Chain A
Amino acid sequence: MRLLRRFFSRLLNFGAGRRADKRLQEELAEHLVFQTDENLRAGMSPAEARRQAVLKLGAAAAIREDHHAEQSLPFVENLFFDLKYAVRMLLRSPGFAFIAIATMALGVGATTAIYSVIDATLLHPLPYPNPSELVRIQDDLPGVGAQDVSVSVPEWKDLENSGIFQYVALDYFASMNLTGSAQPTRIAYKGVTPNYFAMLGVGAQLGRTFDPGDHTPGVIPEVVLSDGLWKSAFGADPNILEKTVRLDQDVYQVVGVMPPGFRDQGQTSEERNMELWVAGGFAAFPFPPALRNSRFGTAFARLKPGLSVASAQAHIDALVASLKKQYPEHYPAQAAWNVRLIPLAETVVGNLRQSLFLLFGAVGLVLLISCVNVANLLLARASARGREIAVRQALGAARMRLIRQLLTESLLLFLLGGITGCAVLFFARKFLLQFIPESLPRLNDISISWGVLAFAIVVSVVAGTIFGLAPAWLTSGLNLTETLRQEGRGSSGSRRRSRLRRGLVIGELALSLVLMIAAGLLLRSFSDLYRVNPGFNPGRVMAIETWLPFPNDPKANIYSTPTQEAVMLREVLRRNRTIPGVEETAVGDVAALPLGHVKDDLNMFPLIREGQDLPGSQPPLIATSLVSPEYFHLLGMTLLRGRLFVDQDLESTPLIAVINQAAARTYWPNQDPVGKRVRLSASKPDWTTIVGVIADARTESLADAAIPQVYLNIYQRLSNDLAFFLRGPVDPATIAAQVRTQIQAVDPNLPVFRAETLNDVLSSSLSVRRFSLEMVALFAATALLLAGLGIYGTISYLVNEQSREIAIRLALGASRSNILRMVLRQGLSLAGAGAVLGVAGALIVSHLMAGLLFGVSPNDLLTFVGVTVVLTVVALAASCIPALRAMRLDPMTMLHSE
């Protein structure tokens, strides 16, 4: 407390210090006059009187210094002086200051930009209270190679009763038609259990969310709207809570509107931007019967406070073991059913984690290189300022004091750079944000927050301290006499400095080589991905989606049989063919949209092979899509054996399926699958006959070669999420409206949305990869530029240092090409050392990022050699300029000037 008071009183004195000092000085002078008078009166000579008075007074300067030190904050004051001096020094060499600040602005700005993305996505992925309590519950059947197979309603009840959760909620997401306005609108909605919002811990801005105590087994006729939908579809109607809405022909009461900042959890941007929520018990119509083996929803839970995920997992393991004993018929040992609790934050970020870490690593290297560059500049200036430092030392400045002064200068540089970087980032944020792929979670929450600013400041200060200390140390450690006598002729201090500079440049070259190799490997992966044969032809194909309503009241459903649906589909297809430019049309469900659908457990069906998978055993799960007969030809998928669907296949004719080669290979090894029969549901007895096998296509992911697929005839099954395919030279701008006209001519209640060319779908499926590639390539180019500048600066400096030696060599008859070669050799040796270190580093990095590569080995010789050559060429080019200058040196002028 007293210390604090003293500090504040000193802080106050800080301003008044000068006045107090002046007063002290006056008083001391006055005292001397009095004492001298007294001494004179005592009979001393004037000189002696004055001398005795001074002696008696004591050392006036020391008294003043002591008083000053006692009354003020010498550290702050020195800092103030140092800062003033540093600003003056920077203003005196504006070119140096500009380059150094710009370099740091680049380094810190880029790092801060990536950090702001990481801050929003990795560090704060969940905008809910106590996010560490939230988990996703994932059921796996590793025995049959099935992951994330959802939870059945009885299992959900078991989890709720396990006593370790506050809430366990189920969700699924799908579409509904909002009718009643001018255009029927397709709405992405989430079906949830009534405790869903209670589990997330978020309330409504208007009205309420669902009542967690509601135990209605079927659908509760209530909806919660997102803020966005409330504003766009209902004009932010303040009386919305008295209204009902019609969704898929059913009437729902609006009970609440979520706050504007609310984002749902989920792995896709569509899920996170959910527009509407409907609740239900998942146990009665329209939900499937609540059987233990009818897995339906994804489960999420909030752990009891204070319970760790690990100890909750132990509870769950025990629960799973006892359930397996209790229901052996549902949990066959070979399926090896298990349940994992995954922190929700991890599932939201998912596979982006690796890409973001790669980016952060890359940008970290850029930062490091910019720091090295500035340190290099500081060293270069140190040699220019040797004389100044030596003079100050000769006048009695302590080494620590000099280091502090020099460090203040470099800190000022780094901080100014950091602040500039942040300012540029702040003004360019809108422009920069558009480069970020939409699939990034919490895209809307990326901002330059206080945390991000603090990060930038800390980075600048730490970098400034580390990279300012070495130059300050070397600069201040001069041999005084030598420097003063022979400054400019290369003293021993400058030899140490030039060794450090060489080291820094080698490091810089090595780091940029690492970055360039990473970028090269990503580029090769990306171009391989682009050039890979997808197994289907996306050229000139448009996909346009619609949604058939699925009312809860079966009597209201006009598409309740495959035949009813087929009549509508055939009519729309016939009409679509009349649109000018359309050559071919087909229809399928959304799962049949290549690369354009989320991997969704709703499209995974059990594959029960006749005679192979007996009742009670766990059948494998297979990705399923529904397509019309024209689909295969439209996408250019080739038939390998058997036949495709034909128009004569109807609801009344035997059910048929086509599989891909991967499915044939996996489930009927060394057999002909054509003619084999399967069941695709545990509860329905109908058999489906496999009639054909098509070649594999990369419809799930361009990076994955072959995923088993089964195609079913859309005229024999029911589906609500539909995609119409059109091939031909159509105008993408107007085609959606034309197709809407045709579809709504058949059924005016159908919404039409999301018209995309397959090429766009394909390209956006690569958006995260493209983003990391572009960023890493940008960073690598920056690194190369900085490294080039670094090597240029260092070689110029070396040439300057050796100009006397070069002049003497020239005077003694060395040929100019010899000199050129001598300088270039120095540049080349730096590049060589940097390349060796860089290749070693790149080998480590490339193996760390192997998961992000496609079709190219982490040791890819071509990339390594190519990039090393590029770096060497740049290094040579950068040393050429100083080398040419050295070659043209006039020995007479040079030696005379010394």
Chain B
Amino acid sequence: MKEKPDVLQGTLALMVLKTLDVIGPQHGWGIARRIEQISGDLLAVNQGTLYPLLLKLEHEGSIASGWGASENNRRARFYRLTAAGRKQLQSETRDWEQTAAIIARFFKVKAEDLP
């Protein structure tokens, strides 16, 4: 059986930031479900690992949290992107796209293309 790829170190943080950027304030479980949905079951996120990350991001000031009510009226802690987080997301998105583009170019190159 083929193993599902692990989340690359650091990419989970990027996914969290992007998720909050797209859908606005959300509670932990909502973020976890969202990531699962988007990655389409291809990615195995051990959901528990999300929470230390959320704490860390909040500690670093990229996100902030506050109490709110969920869809079915449960009290839950909602996370939202801060201005610093938005800036971080932009720069990390740029970095990521750059890296991806470089890697993609390496894959395109064939032996005969080399001078």
Which residues of chain A are near B77, meaning CB under 8 Å?
Answer: 26-27, 30
Which residues of chain A are near B32, meaning CB under 8 Å?
Answer: 31
| Alpha-carbon distance A422/B80, docked complex (angstroms) | 58
| Nearest B residue (CB) for A20 | B55
- B9 within 8 Å of A (CB atoms): no
Q: Which of B27, B49, B51, B54 has the most CB of A within 10 A?
A: B51
Which residues of chain A are near B51, meaning CB under 8 Å?
Answer: 24, 27-28, 31, 63, 67
Binding-face segment, A54-62, A165-173, A537-545: A54-62
Q: Which of A26, A27, A30, A66 has the most CB of B within 10 A?
A: A27
User: Per-position contact with A for B46-67: 1 when CB-CB < 8 Å, else 0?
Assistant: 1111011011000000000000
User: Is the CB–CB distance between A58 and B48 below 8 Å?
Assistant: yes
Contacts A20-B55, A27-B28, A67-B55; A34 near B48 (Cβ below 8 A): no
User: Is the CB–CB distance between B55 and A58 below 8 Å?
Assistant: no
Which residues of chain B are near A35, meaning CB under 8 Å?
Answer: 29, 47
What distance in Å separates the Cβ of A727 from its nearest Cβ neighbour in chain B?
92
Which residues of chain B are near A58, meaning CB under 8 Å?
Answer: 46-49
Chain A 25-41 residues near chain B, CB threshold 8 A: 26-28, 30-31, 33-35, 37-38
Chain B 15-47 residues near chain A, CB threshold 8 A: 27-30, 32-33, 46-47
Which residues of chain B are near A31, meaning CB under 8 Å?
Answer: 28-29, 32, 47-48, 51
- A237 within 8 Å of B (CB atoms): no
Q: Which of B27, B48, B74, B76 contacts A60 (CB 8 A)?
A: B48
| Alpha-carbon distance A34/B33, docked complex (angstroms) | 10
- For B, the interface residue count at a CB cutoff of 8 angstroms equals 19
- A23 within 8 Å of B (CB atoms): yes
- A898 within 8 Å of B (CB atoms): no
- A242 within 8 Å of B (CB atoms): no
| Alpha-carbon distance A31/B49, docked complex (angstroms) | 12
What distance in Å separates the Cβ of A391 from its nearest Cβ neighbour in chain B?
32
| Alpha-carbon distance A30/B32, docked complex (angstroms) | 13
Which residues of chain A are near B47, meaning CB under 8 Å?
Answer: 31, 35, 56-58
User: Is the CB–CB distance between B55 and A57 below 8 Å?
Assistant: no
| Alpha-carbon distance A56/B72, docked complex (angstroms) | 21
| Alpha-carbon distance A34/B51, docked complex (angstroms) | 14
Which residues of chain A are near B74, meaning CB under 8 Å?
Answer: 33-34
| Nearest B residue (CB) for A62 | B48
| Alpha-carbon distance A407/B67, docked complex (angstroms) | 47
- A70 within 8 Å of B (CB atoms): yes
Chain A 254-296 residues near chain B, CB threshold 8 A: none
What distance in Å separates the Cβ of A270 from its nearest Cβ neighbour in chain B?
70
User: Is the CB–CB distance between B52 and A24 below 8 Å?
Assistant: yes
User: Is the CB–CB distance between B52 and A67 below 8 Å?
Assistant: yes
Which residues of chain A are near B70, meaning CB under 8 Å?
Answer: 34
| Alpha-carbon distance A313/B70, docked complex (angstroms) | 91
User: Is the CB–CB distance between A63 and B48 below 8 Å?
Assistant: yes
| Alpha-carbon distance A59/B47, docked complex (angstroms) | 10
Chain A 41-58 residues near chain B, CB threshold 8 A: 56-58
Q: Which of A56, A57, A66 contacts B52 (CB 8 A)?
A: A66
| Alpha-carbon distance A94/B33, docked complex (angstroms) | 59
What distance in Å separates the Cβ of A493 from its nearest Cβ neighbour in chain B?
42
What distance in Å separates the Cβ of B7 from its nearest Cβ neighbour in chain A?
13
| Nearest B residue (CB) for A23 | B55
What distance in Å separates the Cβ of A690 from its nearest Cβ neighbour in chain B?
99
What distance in Å separates the Cβ of B76 from its nearest Cβ neighbour in chain A?
6
Q: Which of A20, A24, A34, A59 contacts B29 (CB 8 A)?
A: A34
Which residues of chain A are near B30, meaning CB under 8 Å?
Answer: 34
| Alpha-carbon distance A308/B107, docked complex (angstroms) | 69
- For A, the interface residue count at a CB cutoff of 8 angstroms equals 22
| Alpha-carbon distance A34/B54, docked complex (angstroms) | 17
Q: Which of B27, B30, B55 has the most CB of A within 10 A?
A: B55
Which residues of chain A are near B29, meaning CB under 8 Å?
Answer: 30-31, 34-35
User: Is the CB–CB distance between B48 and A30 below 8 Å?
Assistant: no
What distance in Å separates the Cβ of A804 from its nearest Cβ neighbour in chain B?
56
| Alpha-carbon distance A37/B29, docked complex (angstroms) | 11
| Alpha-carbon distance A380/B64, docked complex (angstroms) | 57
| Alpha-carbon distance A849/B32, docked complex (angstroms) | 80
User: Is the CB–CB distance between B28 and A59 below 8 Å?
Assistant: no
| Alpha-carbon distance A70/B51, docked complex (angstroms) | 13
Which residues of chain A are near B54, meaning CB under 8 Å?
Answer: 27
Q: Which of A28, A34, A70 has the most CB of B within 10 A?
A: A34
Which residues of chain B are near A59, meaning CB under 8 Å?
Answer: 48
Which residues of chain B are near A30, meaning CB under 8 Å?
Answer: 27-29, 76-77
What distance in Å separates the Cβ of B83 from its nearest Cβ neighbour in chain A?
22
Chain A 406-427 residues near chain B, CB threshold 8 A: none
Which residues of chain B are near A56, meaning CB under 8 Å?
Answer: 47
| Alpha-carbon distance A27/B56, docked complex (angstroms) | 14
Which residues of chain B are near A34, meaning CB under 8 Å?
Answer: 27, 29-30, 70, 74, 76
Chain B 69-96 residues near chain A, CB threshold 8 A: 70, 72, 74, 76-77
| Nearest B residue (CB) for A61 | B48
What distance in Å separates the Cβ of A666 from its nearest Cβ neighbour in chain B?
90
User: Per-position contact with B for A738-764: 1 when CB-CB < 8 Å, else 0?
Assistant: 000000000000000000000000000
| Alpha-carbon distance A27/B52, docked complex (angstroms) | 10
| Alpha-carbon distance A34/B74, docked complex (angstroms) | 9
| Alpha-carbon distance A58/B46, docked complex (angstroms) | 6
User: Is the CB–CB distance between B49 and A37 below 8 Å?
Assistant: no
What distance in Å separates the Cβ of A33 from its nearest Cβ neighbour in chain B?
7
What distance in Å separates the Cβ of A35 from its nearest Cβ neighbour in chain B?
6
Which residues of chain B are near A67, meaning CB under 8 Å?
Answer: 51-52, 55
Which residues of chain A are near B27, meaning CB under 8 Å?
Answer: 30, 34
| Alpha-carbon distance A60/B46, docked complex (angstroms) | 10
| Nearest B residue (CB) for A53 | B47
What distance in Å separates the Cβ of A65 from its nearest Cβ neighbour in chain B?
11
| Alpha-carbon distance A57/B48, docked complex (angstroms) | 5
| Alpha-carbon distance A67/B32, docked complex (angstroms) | 18
Which residues of chain B are near A57, meaning CB under 8 Å?
Answer: 46-48
| Alpha-carbon distance A34/B26, docked complex (angstroms) | 13
What distance in Å separates the Cβ of B63 from its nearest Cβ neighbour in chain A?
13
| Alpha-carbon distance A56/B41, docked complex (angstroms) | 13
| Alpha-carbon distance A518/B46, docked complex (angstroms) | 73
| Nearest B residue (CB) for A31 | B29
What distance in Å separates the Cβ of B77 from its nearest Cβ neighbour in chain A?
7
Q: Which of A26, A38, A63 has the most CB of B within 10 A?
A: A63
Which residues of chain B are near A63, meaning CB under 8 Å?
Answer: 48-49, 51-52
24 A-B pairs whose Cβ atoms sit less than 8 Å apart in the complex: A20-B55, A24-B51, A24-B55, A27-B51, A28-B51, A30-B27, A30-B29, A31-B51, A33-B74, A34-B27, A34-B29, A34-B30, A34-B70, A34-B76, A35-B29, A57-B48, A58-B47, A60-B48, A63-B49, A63-B51, A63-B52, A67-B51, A67-B52, A67-B55
Which B positions have Cβ atoms within 8 angstroms of A? 27-30, 32-33, 46-49, 51-52, 54-55, 70, 72, 74, 76-77
5 closest cross-chain pairs (CB), A and B: A34-B29, A58-B48, A67-B52, A58-B46, A63-B48
Which A positions have Cβ atoms within 8 angstroms of B? 20, 23-24, 26-28, 30-31, 33-35, 37-38, 56-60, 63, 66-67, 70
Extra 18 A-B pairs, beta carbons < 8 Å, given A30-B28, A58-B49:
A24-B51, A27-B51, A27-B77, A28-B51, A31-B29, A34-B29, A34-B30, A34-B70, A34-B76, A38-B33, A57-B46, A57-B47, A58-B47, A58-B48, A63-B48, A67-B52, A67-B55, A70-B52
